[in-house]
Chains A and B, each alone.
Chain A
Amino acid sequence: MTDPSAGEIVQFDNVGLRYGTDREVLSDVSFTLFPGSFYFLTGASGAGKTSLLKLLYLAQRPSRGMIRMFGTDAITMPRQQLPLLRRRLGVVFQDFRLVPHLSAFDNVALPLRVAGVAERDLEKPVADMLEWVRLGERMHALPAQLSGGEQQRVAIARAVIGRPEMLIADEPTGNVDPDMAIKLLRLFEALNRMGTTVVVATHDVHLLKKVPDSLIMRLDKGRLSDPTGALRYPPRPHGGFGSRG
């Protein structure tokens, strides 16, 4: 199922998603994401941002349409192969989804342990990462002992610790102070410069201006608005991103 010639990291073609028998929360969504790009996903509350992200981080299968990730058909692929695709992603969940019984250190170490990294090799990077998000002194605290902002920083540290090929963040700056929000954006940009594709869902329009080279995807009532066609699928023959934020 892998297509080595594909330059796109993600392709959505005519994707629709409905939960049960309700109306579609996403309709006719088609776009492409290119390696090393920085995307903002915006839209009003209830527009379908989180649903779209769930499809992106492979927590949900669409009701219809085609999704290819890293050149692989993500819909028809056997579920045993999903973990390998997921390990190429870093995800910051809107509700953080930290394991409540694990310390901040162990939550951040979890993706490395899942990937089979030896204990002696993960201690320093995890400690450094926690230091970087200013939680070095709180590394042994349980999530319940951390504030909302601290939990969010742990979630971000966990998402980036494995140097993912694509980082997906759902409202990552929602609970942090403006200084930390800027710092986190700079981290995302740094990862992006090292080749990581970044997708950040946010309703904060001020954030969009802080990353001038980013591309913007707008969702409105489950439909993707892409007036310039920069994200359209199949992509234009000459590529080129028209709607830089």
Chain B
Amino acid sequence: MALKFPSFGSAGSAPELMPQGRLAGPMPWVIAIMVALTVIAAAAGLALSNTARNAADALSGGVTVQVVEANPVERNRQAEAAAKALRVTPGVTTAEIVPQEEVERLIEPWLGARVGDGQIPVPALVDVRMREAVTGETLGALRRQVRQVAPAARVDAQSSWLKPVFGAIDSLQWLALALVALLGMALAAAVLLAVRTSLGTNRETIEIVHLLGGTDAQIARVFQRAVGFDAAGGGAVGLALGLVVVLFLGQRFGGLEAGLVQSGALGWIDWVLLALVPIAGLVLAMLTARITVLRALRKML
């Protein structure tokens, strides 16, 4: 940590109080690692948040009608009747029968290629879009209406299928938040240890400055500034490292072409938030340095 007396005079040519070059100690690199990990954890949290929000928006007005009937002719008849009845129901914007080929394609990964040969009965699906979010009351009304024309039909809100997924996403978001908080605490602890070591090493110089009339605030500012330089350098490196990892992971997940994963793409506000991570680290590091120095100096005369 390089200590300088910048704020005692007005010009910037004041000397280094300690003969150490910038980025010489481990401090900037520790900060760089902490910031990189924080950026990755924060990006994961933001992506999960986007995923949950987009999925909830997409599913909130969706209802699925399944007609579970072994006889294909009766199944298709009930599906047609249910769709027709739903189209004239108030609050319903669309009610479309999902083509049988599409349904078979969706379940083929689980049931194999024999799905299409008619040996395994596959339910007929009707995808219903409501004008507003589905409540228990509207779902009950839809069920009563559909059962009159299609007794083999089961009516479910689409959001209810993903409840466990939303629960898991919620937990992962909290985990990301906890990781960010823990990394912040680790950063503060690293700064605290470095400042304490530096205080011990420079005790003689600090005593001299005190005896010459230097105030605690002036001495704290010297440490604050030194830590600030380390945190700024380390934060910039950490942000760059973190962004490279986030972009790489984004590219890999984007390649999955899965709707739920792609809905987690980061928006511009998310990128701005990630760019603020090193600034938050800088403020935290400088604040920790200041408090540590002031508390230590209080024990000296």
Contacts and interface: CB of A to CB of B under 8 A. Distances in A.
A102 B301 CA distance: 24
Interface of A: 57-61, 79-80, 82-84, 86-87, 89, 91, 97, 99, 101-103, 106, 110-120, 122, 158
Contacts of A120: 10-11
- The 9 tightest CB contacts between A and B, nearest first, are A119-B11, A87-B213, A113-B8, A118-B10, A86-B213, A119-B9, A106-B15, A83-B215, A83-B213
* Chain B CB within 10 A, most for which of A59, A83, A116: A83
A111 B213 CA distance: 7
B218 interface: yes
Contact of B14 (A60, A79, A89, A119): A119
A116 B212 CA distance: 12
A166 B132 CA distance: 84
Nearest to B16: A101
A97 to B, nearest CB: 5
Contacts of B212: 86-87, 91, 110-111, 114, 158
Contacts of A158: 212
B19 interface: yes
Interface stretch (B185-193, B203-211, B250-258): B203-211
Contact of A57 (B8, B17, B205, B211): B211
A61 B13 CA distance: 36
A239 B211 CA distance: 32
B285 to A, nearest CB: 24
Nearest to A106: B15
A118 B9 contact: yes
B14 A115 contact: no
B5 interface: yes
Given A83-B215, A114-B209, A114-B213, A122 B301 contact: no
Given A58-B301, A97-B208, A101-B18, A116 B9 contact: yes
